């Protein structure tokens, strides 16, 4: 049985006259498909299905074709094909700049990309000082990569588009119940469209007063979106700095231009989220980790050191709001991140409501309770909301 016979027909072979944009020169994998015993599902995510596919040993490669590739298939229903085109453009630009796997082919529902022998770091590895510092520098490099996308922050426009579709779909008021969030938190008792629209209006007013520069952001920096390349050198368990060449950032499905402070805040917010909990709701929330001073300083230090290395003119320093006084600049980045900390939680709350109510995924994916996650995220937003006015 072939895993991807229909996919192979869509991609085409070099001489079949199919759409040139969907071809891949070196077509043994496409021509013959992937034998099921040579294919392995390596990621079972919420937005993609990813397979590691290899040619059987008895099949000869064509030209410089690799024997092993990654097949990525869009999992969620897609109503806006511009979203897929945007993601493909981002992937191609990152690949061209050496920041990700090589793009080998694209098709309507996904793409084929270079397979990098690697593994995702565990969360405890990700948060080690040497690892987290290096990740921060890589994030800073990518933040200052120029992309063919709108250059102003897309946070508010994207949220408003989701909320509009939620309103059109008839989102009804519901109790704002907590599941994985603990502790005394002052928040409304009922989640409604009026509540969400009131909050986004307040956030928009807050953002209008912020000076944080607009940069190309990953917007979903978690340990599972990092690859640690396989090498002969083992990854040590101490806090020594991991070589940047071993790290690859992946899954830019939520990437767009956004406030630099948001990228810092979202990374810190995810430090307190764990998604490997075996019991329902299959995630846990640690509010203290999201504001951990040591983690904030480690990440912002790595980020700032990379900015100092790359901003080689007074004008570039000015655009990044940098003074050259390391202590002052470091405190600025830390305060930016703390001030924006509630915003990622509102973003993910809205996205989960959108997935549940508009995309119809409430019961579609095993182990993914979108509405429960949305409520918890909104409660965490209220927990940190005062940060918008404290820093």
Instruction: Tally the C-alpha atoms within 13 A of residue 229's C-alpha that lie toward its C-beta.
Output: 16
pLDDT over 50 (residue 9): no
Three-state SS for 109-138 is CEEEEECCCEECCCHHHHCCHHHHHHHHHH
Query: Domain with 87 in it: what CATH number?
Result: 3.30.200.20
User: Based on the domain organization, do 258 and 154 belong to the same domain?
Assistant: yes
The residue range of the domain holding 85 is: 5-115
Instruction: Tally the C-alpha atoms within 13 A of residue 224's C-alpha that lie toward its C-beta.
Output: 12
User: Based on the domain organization, do 142 and 110 belong to the same domain?
Assistant: no
pLDDT over 50 (residue 20): no
CA distance 303 to 212: 14
Average the pLDDT over 193-218 and give the result. 98
Contact (Cβ atoms closer than 8 angstroms) between residue 168 and residue 365: no
User: Based on the domain organization, do 60 and 156 belong to the same domain?
Assistant: no
User: Based on the domain organization, do 89 and 153 belong to the same domain?
Assistant: no
User: Based on the domain organization, do 167 and 95 belong to the same domain?
Assistant: no
Of the residues 91, 115, 139, the one at which a domain ends: 115
Summarised one tens digit per residue, pLDDT across range 197-209 is 999 999 999 999 9
Average the pLDDT over 47-52 and give the result. 79
Summarised one tens digit per residue, pLDDT across range 114-129 is 999 999 999 999 999 9
pLDDT over 90 (residue 63): no
- What confidence category does residue 213 fall into, taking pLDDT thresholds of 50, 70 and 90? very high
User: Based on the domain organization, do 222 and 341 belong to the same domain?
Assistant: yes
Of the residues 94, 115, 136, the one at which a domain ends: 115
Contact (Cβ atoms closer than 8 angstroms) between residue 351 and residue 362: no
- What confidence category does residue 175 fall into, taking pLDDT thresholds of 50, 70 and 90? very high
Query: Domain with 246 in it: what CATH number?
Result: 3.90.1200.10
User: Based on the domain organization, do 106 and 189 belong to the same domain?
Assistant: no
State the chain's mean pLDDT as an integer.
Answer: 85
Average the pLDDT over 383-390 and give the result. 97
- What confidence category does residue 360 fall into, taking pLDDT thresholds of 50, 70 and 90? low
Average the pLDDT over 283-299 and give the result. 98
User: Based on the domain organization, do 157 and 282 belong to the same domain?
Assistant: yes
User: Based on the domain organization, do 109 and 220 belong to the same domain?
Assistant: no
Of the residues 73, 97, 115, the one at which a domain ends: 115
User: Based on the domain organization, do 66 and 92 belong to the same domain?
Assistant: yes
Top-confidence residue, 81 or 330 = 330
User: Based on the domain organization, do 97 and 157 belong to the same domain?
Assistant: no
Q: Which two tokens stand for residue 320?
A: 């990044």
Planar angle of CA 175, 177, 182, nearest 5 degrees: 160
- How many domains does the chain contain in total? 2
- Residue 108 is predicted with a pLDDT of 76
User: How many CB atoms within 10 Å of residue 220?
Assistant: 21
156 φ/ψ angles, rounded to the nearest 5 degrees = -70, -50
- The alpha carbons of the chain give a radius of gyration, in whole angstroms, of 22
User: Based on the domain organization, do 149 and 268 belong to the same domain?
Assistant: yes
**Share above pLDDT 90 across residues of the chain, in percent, rounded to a whole number:** 64
Three-state SS for 188-210 is CCEECHHHHHHHHHHHHHHHCCC
- What confidence category does residue 8 fall into, taking pLDDT thresholds of 50, 70 and 90? very low
pLDDT over 90 (residue 7): no
Average the pLDDT over 367-387 and give the result. 94
């Amino acid at each position: 049985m072939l895993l991807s016979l229909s996919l192979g027909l869509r991609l085409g072979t070099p001489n079949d006259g199919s759409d040139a944009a969907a071809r891949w020169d070196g077509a043994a994998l496409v021509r013959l498909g992937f034998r099921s015993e040579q294919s392995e599902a390596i990621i079972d995510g919420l937005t993609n299905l990813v397979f590691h596919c290899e040619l059987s040993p008895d099949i000869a490669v064509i030209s410089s074709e690799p024997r092993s590739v990654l097949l990525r298939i869009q999992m969620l229903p897609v109503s806006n094909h511009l979203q897929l085109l945007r993601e493909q453009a981002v992937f191609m630009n990152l690949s061209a700049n050496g920041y990700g796997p090589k793009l080998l082919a694209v098709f309507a529902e996904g793409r084929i990309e270079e397979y990098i022998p690697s593994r995702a770091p565990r969360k405890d590895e990700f948060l080690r000082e040497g690892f987290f510092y290096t990740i921060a520098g890589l994030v800073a490099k990518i933040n200052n990569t120029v992309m063919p996308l709108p250059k102003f922050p897309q946070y508010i426009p994207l949220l408003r588009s989701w909320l509009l579709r939620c309103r059109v779909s008839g989102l009804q008021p519901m109790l704002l119940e907590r599941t994985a969030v603990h502790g005394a938190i002052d928040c409304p008792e009922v989640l409604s469209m009026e509540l969400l629209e009131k909050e986004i209006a307040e956030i928009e007013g807050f953002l209008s007063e912020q000076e944080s520069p607009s940069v190309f952001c990953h917007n979903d920096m978690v340990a599972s979106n990092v690859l640690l390349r396989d090498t002969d050198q083992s990854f040590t368990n101490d806090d020594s700095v991991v070589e940047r060449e071993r790290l690859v950032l992946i899954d830019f499905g939520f990437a767009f231009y956004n406030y630099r402070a948001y990228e810092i805040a979202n990374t810190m917010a995810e430090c307190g989220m764990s998604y490997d909990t075996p019991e329902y709701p299959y995630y846990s929330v640690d509010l203290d980790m999201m504001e951990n001073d040591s983690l904030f300083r480690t990440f912002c230090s790595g980020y700032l050191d990379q900015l100092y290395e790359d901003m080689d003119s007074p004008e570039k320093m000015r655009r990044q709001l940098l003074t050259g006084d390391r202590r002052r600049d470091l405190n600025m980045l830390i305060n930016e991140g703390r001030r924006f900390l509630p915003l990622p939680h509102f973003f993910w709350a809205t996205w989960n409501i959108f997935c549940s109510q508009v995309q119809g995924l409430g019961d579609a994916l095993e182990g993914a309770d979108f509405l429960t996650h949305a409520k918890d995220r909104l409660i965490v937003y209220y927990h940190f909301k005062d940060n918008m006015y404290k820093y």
